[in-house]
Structure 1
Protein backbone atom coordinates (compact mmCIF):
# COMPACT_ATOMS: atom_id res chain seq x y z
CA UNK A 1 0.00 0.00 0.00
CA UNK A 2 1.12 3.54 -0.59
CA UNK A 3 -1.74 5.44 0.97
CA UNK A 4 -4.72 5.21 3.24
CA UNK A 5 -8.04 4.18 1.76
CA UNK A 6 -10.36 6.96 0.69
CA UNK A 7 -13.98 7.29 -0.44
CA UNK A 8 -14.73 9.11 -3.66
CA UNK A 9 -17.66 9.60 -5.99
CA UNK A 10 -17.26 8.49 -9.60
CA UNK A 11 -19.26 9.00 -12.76
CA UNK A 12 -20.55 6.10 -14.86
CA UNK A 13 -18.14 5.09 -17.65
CA UNK A 14 -18.65 2.77 -20.64
CA UNK A 15 -16.19 -0.03 -21.36
CA UNK A 16 -15.37 -2.99 -23.59
CA UNK A 17 -14.39 -6.26 -21.93
CA UNK A 18 -13.99 -10.00 -22.28
CA UNK A 19 -15.67 -12.09 -19.56
CA UNK A 20 -13.99 -15.20 -18.14
CA UNK A 21 -14.32 -17.61 -15.24
CA UNK A 22 -11.11 -19.16 -13.95
CA UNK A 23 -9.46 -20.31 -10.72
CA UNK A 24 -6.33 -18.51 -9.53
CA UNK A 25 -4.15 -21.45 -10.62
CA UNK A 26 -5.18 -20.67 -14.22
CA UNK A 27 -4.72 -16.89 -13.99
CA UNK A 28 -2.51 -16.95 -17.08
CA UNK A 29 -5.75 -17.45 -19.09
CA UNK A 30 -7.11 -14.23 -17.56
CA UNK A 31 -3.95 -12.22 -18.25
CA UNK A 32 -3.88 -13.53 -21.84
CA UNK A 33 -7.07 -11.54 -22.52
CA UNK A 34 -5.34 -8.18 -22.03
CA UNK A 35 -3.80 -7.92 -25.52
CA UNK A 36 -6.99 -9.32 -27.07
CA UNK A 37 -9.09 -6.48 -25.62
CA UNK A 38 -6.62 -3.85 -26.82
CA UNK A 39 -6.45 -5.44 -30.28
CA UNK A 40 -10.24 -5.45 -30.51
CA UNK A 41 -10.34 -1.74 -29.65
CA UNK A 42 -7.53 -0.90 -32.10
CA UNK A 43 -9.16 -2.85 -34.94
CA UNK A 44 -12.33 -0.78 -34.49
CA UNK A 45 -10.58 2.55 -34.07
CA UNK A 46 -11.78 2.92 -30.47
CA UNK A 47 -9.21 4.63 -28.24
CA UNK A 48 -8.92 3.59 -24.59
CA UNK A 49 -10.30 6.22 -22.19
CA UNK A 50 -8.64 4.92 -19.04
CA UNK A 51 -6.51 2.13 -17.66
CA UNK A 52 -7.01 -1.59 -18.08
CA UNK A 53 -9.12 -3.10 -15.31
CA UNK A 54 -10.33 -6.40 -13.93
CA UNK A 55 -13.96 -6.29 -12.81
CA UNK A 56 -14.80 -9.07 -10.37
CA UNK A 57 -18.36 -10.37 -10.38
CA UNK A 58 -18.10 -13.46 -8.17
CA UNK A 59 -15.47 -15.17 -6.09
CA UNK A 60 -16.51 -18.77 -5.52
CA UNK A 61 -15.35 -20.37 -2.26
CA UNK A 62 -14.26 -23.38 -4.34
CA UNK A 63 -11.84 -21.20 -6.24
CA UNK A 64 -13.61 -20.05 -9.42
CA UNK A 65 -13.57 -16.33 -10.07
CA UNK A 66 -15.94 -14.72 -12.56
CA UNK A 67 -14.60 -11.47 -13.94
CA UNK A 68 -14.17 -9.23 -16.96
CA UNK A 69 -10.91 -7.95 -18.39
CA UNK A 70 -11.80 -4.52 -19.70
CA UNK A 71 -10.83 -1.06 -20.83
CA UNK A 72 -12.87 2.15 -20.41
CA UNK A 73 -13.91 3.85 -23.65
CA UNK A 74 -15.12 7.37 -24.38
CA UNK A 75 -18.52 6.33 -25.71
CA UNK A 76 -20.57 3.13 -25.58
CA UNK A 77 -19.52 0.38 -27.99
CA UNK A 78 -21.35 -2.61 -29.41
CA UNK A 79 -19.89 -5.96 -28.47
CA UNK A 80 -19.55 -8.91 -30.80
CA UNK A 81 -20.18 -11.90 -28.54
CA UNK A 82 -16.57 -12.38 -27.51
CA UNK A 83 -16.13 -8.78 -26.42
CA UNK A 84 -19.00 -7.26 -24.47
CA UNK A 85 -20.04 -3.69 -23.80
CA UNK A 86 -20.45 -2.69 -20.18
CA UNK A 87 -20.62 0.24 -17.81
CA UNK A 88 -18.52 0.98 -14.76
CA UNK A 89 -21.32 2.04 -12.44
CA UNK A 90 -21.26 5.52 -11.01
CA UNK A 91 -21.44 6.04 -7.27
CA UNK A 92 -19.28 6.10 -4.19
CA UNK A 93 -16.20 3.87 -4.09
CA UNK A 94 -13.71 3.00 -1.39
CA UNK A 95 -10.30 3.05 -3.06
CA UNK A 96 -6.76 2.10 -2.18
CA UNK A 97 -3.57 2.39 -4.23
CA UNK A 98 -1.42 -0.74 -4.26
CA UNK A 99 2.23 -0.15 -5.10
CA UNK A 100 4.20 -3.18 -6.19
CA UNK A 101 3.88 -6.56 -7.81
CA UNK A 102 0.36 -7.87 -8.48
CA UNK A 103 1.32 -11.09 -6.66
CA UNK A 104 1.27 -9.06 -3.43
CA UNK A 105 -2.12 -7.51 -4.15
CA UNK A 106 -3.78 -9.67 -1.48
CA UNK A 107 -2.16 -7.51 1.24
CA UNK A 108 -3.85 -4.37 -0.10
CA UNK A 109 -7.16 -6.13 -0.78
CA UNK A 110 -7.21 -7.36 2.81
CA UNK A 111 -6.39 -3.89 4.13
CA UNK A 112 -9.27 -2.32 2.17
CA UNK A 113 -11.67 -5.09 3.16
CA UNK A 114 -10.88 -4.50 6.84
CA UNK A 115 -10.89 -0.72 6.58
CA UNK A 116 -14.35 -0.37 5.00
CA UNK A 117 -16.42 -2.10 7.70
CA UNK A 118 -14.31 -0.41 10.40
CA UNK A 119 -15.51 2.90 8.90
CA UNK A 120 -19.12 1.72 8.90
CA UNK A 121 -19.12 1.19 5.14
CA UNK A 122 -20.89 -1.65 3.34
CA UNK A 123 -19.83 -3.04 -0.02
CA UNK A 124 -22.17 -3.24 -3.01
CA UNK A 125 -22.39 -7.04 -2.90
CA UNK A 126 -24.81 -9.78 -2.06
CA UNK A 127 -24.77 -13.54 -1.51
CA UNK A 128 -26.52 -15.66 -4.10
CA UNK A 129 -26.41 -19.46 -4.42
CA UNK A 130 -23.26 -19.69 -2.31
CA UNK A 131 -21.49 -16.95 -4.27
CA UNK A 132 -20.58 -13.44 -3.29
CA UNK A 133 -21.81 -11.27 -6.19
CA UNK A 134 -20.30 -7.80 -6.54
CA UNK A 135 -21.94 -4.74 -8.04
CA UNK A 136 -18.63 -2.93 -8.42
CA UNK A 137 -15.29 -4.49 -7.49
CA UNK A 138 -12.39 -3.34 -9.65
CA UNK A 139 -8.63 -3.39 -9.99
CA UNK A 140 -7.37 -0.61 -12.28
CA UNK A 141 -3.87 -1.22 -13.62
CA UNK A 142 -2.40 2.28 -13.67
CA UNK A 143 1.05 1.23 -14.87
CA UNK A 144 1.65 0.56 -18.55
CA UNK A 145 3.90 -2.51 -18.87
CA UNK A 146 5.44 -1.01 -22.04
CA UNK A 147 6.57 2.00 -19.99
CA UNK A 148 7.20 0.23 -16.67
CA UNK A 149 8.11 -3.44 -17.27
CA UNK A 150 9.24 -3.92 -13.64
CA UNK A 151 6.10 -5.28 -11.97
CA UNK A 152 7.54 -4.43 -8.54
CA UNK A 153 7.07 -0.76 -9.50
CA UNK A 154 3.48 -1.02 -10.72
CA UNK A 155 0.54 0.94 -9.31
CA UNK A 156 -2.84 -0.74 -9.08
CA UNK A 157 -5.93 1.02 -7.79
CA UNK A 158 -8.43 -1.15 -5.93
CA UNK A 159 -11.97 0.24 -6.01
CA UNK A 160 -15.00 -1.26 -4.24
CA UNK A 161 -18.40 0.29 -4.85
CA UNK A 162 -20.33 1.10 -1.70
CA UNK A 163 -23.82 -0.20 -0.95
CA UNK A 164 -26.66 2.23 -1.36
CA UNK A 165 -25.37 3.51 -4.68
CA UNK A 166 -26.98 0.77 -6.79
Structure 2
Protein backbone atom coordinates (compact mmCIF):
# COMPACT_ATOMS: atom_id res chain seq x y z
CA UNK A 1 0.00 0.00 0.00
CA UNK A 2 1.51 3.37 -0.95
CA UNK A 3 2.14 5.98 1.68
CA UNK A 4 2.82 9.71 1.68
CA UNK A 5 6.00 10.84 3.43
CA UNK A 6 7.90 14.09 3.84
CA UNK A 7 11.41 13.96 2.36
CA UNK A 8 14.15 16.59 2.61
CA UNK A 9 16.06 17.88 -0.37
CA UNK A 10 18.76 15.63 -1.79
CA UNK A 11 21.68 16.83 -3.93
CA UNK A 12 22.61 14.38 -6.68
CA UNK A 13 24.91 13.60 -9.61
CA UNK A 14 23.48 11.89 -12.69
CA UNK A 15 23.78 11.11 -16.37
CA UNK A 16 21.03 12.85 -18.36
CA UNK A 17 19.67 11.62 -21.67
CA UNK A 18 16.77 11.39 -24.08
CA UNK A 19 15.74 7.82 -24.77
CA UNK A 20 12.80 5.96 -26.29
CA UNK A 21 10.96 3.51 -24.02
CA UNK A 22 12.81 0.69 -25.77
CA UNK A 23 16.16 2.32 -24.91
CA UNK A 24 15.83 2.48 -21.11
CA UNK A 25 17.84 -0.72 -20.59
CA UNK A 26 20.74 0.50 -22.75
CA UNK A 27 20.67 3.85 -20.94
CA UNK A 28 20.68 2.07 -17.57
CA UNK A 29 23.80 0.21 -18.68
CA UNK A 30 25.57 3.59 -18.71
CA UNK A 31 25.33 3.86 -14.89
CA UNK A 32 29.04 2.94 -14.84
CA UNK A 33 29.79 6.39 -16.34
CA UNK A 34 28.28 8.07 -13.28
CA UNK A 35 30.12 5.73 -10.92
CA UNK A 36 33.44 6.39 -12.69
CA UNK A 37 32.86 10.17 -12.67
CA UNK A 38 32.07 10.15 -8.95
CA UNK A 39 35.17 8.03 -8.24
CA UNK A 40 37.40 10.36 -10.28
CA UNK A 41 36.10 13.34 -8.27
CA UNK A 42 36.34 11.38 -4.99
CA UNK A 43 32.63 11.93 -4.34
CA UNK A 44 30.84 9.16 -2.47
CA UNK A 45 27.16 8.40 -3.08
CA UNK A 46 25.16 8.53 0.15
CA UNK A 47 22.22 6.39 -0.91
CA UNK A 48 20.90 3.99 -3.54
CA UNK A 49 20.98 4.76 -7.28
CA UNK A 50 17.89 6.13 -8.95
CA UNK A 51 16.21 6.75 -12.27
CA UNK A 52 14.58 10.19 -12.46
CA UNK A 53 11.96 10.68 -15.16
CA UNK A 54 11.72 14.37 -16.12
CA UNK A 55 9.60 14.04 -19.26
CA UNK A 56 7.49 10.99 -20.02
CA UNK A 57 6.36 10.69 -23.63
CA UNK A 58 5.42 7.05 -24.11
CA UNK A 59 5.15 7.49 -27.88
CA UNK A 60 8.31 9.58 -28.27
CA UNK A 61 11.31 10.09 -26.04
CA UNK A 62 11.76 10.12 -22.30
CA UNK A 63 14.02 12.69 -20.71
CA UNK A 64 15.59 10.94 -17.78
CA UNK A 65 18.54 10.86 -15.44
CA UNK A 66 20.31 7.96 -13.76
CA UNK A 67 22.36 8.85 -10.74
CA UNK A 68 23.11 8.89 -7.06
CA UNK A 69 22.32 11.18 -4.14
CA UNK A 70 25.44 12.84 -2.71
CA UNK A 71 26.15 15.00 0.34
CA UNK A 72 26.77 18.32 -1.44
CA UNK A 73 25.85 20.04 -4.68
CA UNK A 74 28.60 19.75 -7.32
CA UNK A 75 29.16 20.99 -10.87
CA UNK A 76 28.65 18.52 -13.67
CA UNK A 77 30.38 18.27 -17.02
CA UNK A 78 29.35 16.91 -20.38
CA UNK A 79 26.39 14.58 -19.99
CA UNK A 80 26.95 14.42 -16.22
CA UNK A 81 24.53 16.79 -14.52
CA UNK A 82 23.95 17.78 -10.94
CA UNK A 83 20.89 19.00 -9.15
CA UNK A 84 18.75 18.77 -6.07
CA UNK A 85 15.76 16.50 -5.63
CA UNK A 86 13.32 18.91 -4.00
CA UNK A 87 12.04 18.61 -0.47
CA UNK A 88 8.37 17.91 -0.05
CA UNK A 89 5.70 15.27 0.20
CA UNK A 90 6.20 12.14 -1.87
CA UNK A 91 3.94 9.19 -2.55
CA UNK A 92 6.03 6.05 -2.10
CA UNK A 93 5.28 2.52 -3.24
CA UNK A 94 7.52 -0.52 -2.87
CA UNK A 95 8.08 -3.03 -5.67
CA UNK A 96 9.66 -6.44 -5.11
CA UNK A 97 10.58 -8.26 -8.29
CA UNK A 98 12.08 -7.84 -11.72
CA UNK A 99 12.31 -4.25 -13.02
CA UNK A 100 10.05 -5.37 -15.89
CA UNK A 101 7.23 -5.12 -13.32
CA UNK A 102 7.86 -1.45 -12.64
CA UNK A 103 5.53 -0.25 -15.38
CA UNK A 104 2.62 -2.07 -13.72
CA UNK A 105 3.73 -0.84 -10.27
CA UNK A 106 3.85 2.71 -11.62
CA UNK A 107 0.35 2.33 -13.06
CA UNK A 108 -0.88 1.06 -9.70
CA UNK A 109 0.69 4.04 -7.88
CA UNK A 110 -0.84 6.50 -10.35
CA UNK A 111 -4.24 4.81 -9.97
CA UNK A 112 -3.92 4.92 -6.17
CA UNK A 113 -3.09 8.62 -6.38
CA UNK A 114 -6.17 9.25 -8.50
CA UNK A 115 -8.37 7.38 -6.00
CA UNK A 116 -6.84 9.35 -3.11
CA UNK A 117 -7.24 12.67 -4.92
CA UNK A 118 -3.54 13.52 -4.71
CA UNK A 119 -2.10 16.11 -7.05
CA UNK A 120 1.25 15.17 -8.59
CA UNK A 121 3.96 17.82 -8.95
CA UNK A 122 3.80 17.61 -12.72
CA UNK A 123 2.77 19.71 -15.68
CA UNK A 124 1.48 17.31 -18.30
CA UNK A 125 4.37 14.97 -19.19
CA UNK A 126 6.92 17.09 -17.24
CA UNK A 127 7.56 15.90 -13.67
CA UNK A 128 9.41 17.66 -10.86
CA UNK A 129 10.56 14.42 -9.22
CA UNK A 130 9.36 11.01 -10.40
CA UNK A 131 11.87 8.44 -9.17
CA UNK A 132 12.67 4.76 -9.15
CA UNK A 133 15.10 4.07 -6.29
CA UNK A 134 17.02 0.80 -6.82
CA UNK A 135 17.55 -0.61 -3.32
CA UNK A 136 19.15 -3.92 -4.34
CA UNK A 137 22.85 -4.11 -5.16
CA UNK A 138 23.23 -6.43 -8.20
CA UNK A 139 26.51 -7.72 -6.75
CA UNK A 140 24.63 -8.94 -3.66
CA UNK A 141 21.31 -9.79 -5.32
CA UNK A 142 22.16 -11.11 -8.80
CA UNK A 143 18.65 -12.44 -9.49
CA UNK A 144 16.65 -9.44 -10.72
CA UNK A 145 13.45 -11.23 -9.64
CA UNK A 146 14.56 -10.60 -6.05
CA UNK A 147 15.26 -6.88 -6.45
CA UNK A 148 13.59 -4.21 -4.31
CA UNK A 149 12.71 -0.84 -5.81
CA UNK A 150 10.88 2.15 -4.36
CA UNK A 151 8.80 4.47 -6.49
CA UNK A 152 8.83 8.05 -5.18
CA UNK A 153 6.58 10.60 -6.90
CA UNK A 154 6.54 14.16 -5.60
CA UNK A 155 3.19 15.72 -4.73
CA UNK A 156 2.34 19.38 -5.35
CA UNK A 157 3.06 21.58 -2.35
Task: Say whether residues 1:140 and 2:133 are aligned partners.
Answer: yes
TM-score under structure 1 normalisation?
0.91
Residue 114 of structure 2 corresponds to which residue in structure 1?
Answer: 117
Aligned partner of 2:149 in structure 1 is 156
How many corresponding residue pairs?
157
**Out of 89, 92, 98, which is 2:89 matched to?**
92
Alignment RMSD: 1.0
**Is the contact made by 2:6 and 2:87 (CA closer than 8 Å) also made in structure 1?**
yes
| Partner Cα distance (2:60, 2:51) in 1 | 17
For residues 85-121 of structure 1, the C-alpha deviation after alignment (integer angstroms, 9 at most, x for no partner) is 1111110000000000001111211110000121110
The answer to whether the 8 A contact 2:12-2:67 is kept is yes
Contact 2:94 2:150 in 1 (8 A): yes
Distance in 2 between residues matched to 1:11 and 1:143, nearest whole Å: 22
Instruction: Show structure 1 runs of 4+ deviating over 6 A.
Output: none
1:52 is aligned to 2:49: yes
5 Å-filtered alignment, 1:57-76, equals: 57-76=54-73
Distance 1:103 1:61, change over 3 A: closer
Q: Residues 116-160 of structure 1, C-alpha deviation per residue, up to 9 Å, x if partnerless? A: 121110100012xxxx10011000000011111110000010010
Separation in structure 1 between the aligned mates of residue 7 and residue 73 of structure 2, nearest angstrom = 17
Structure 1 stretches lacking a partner, 5+ long = none
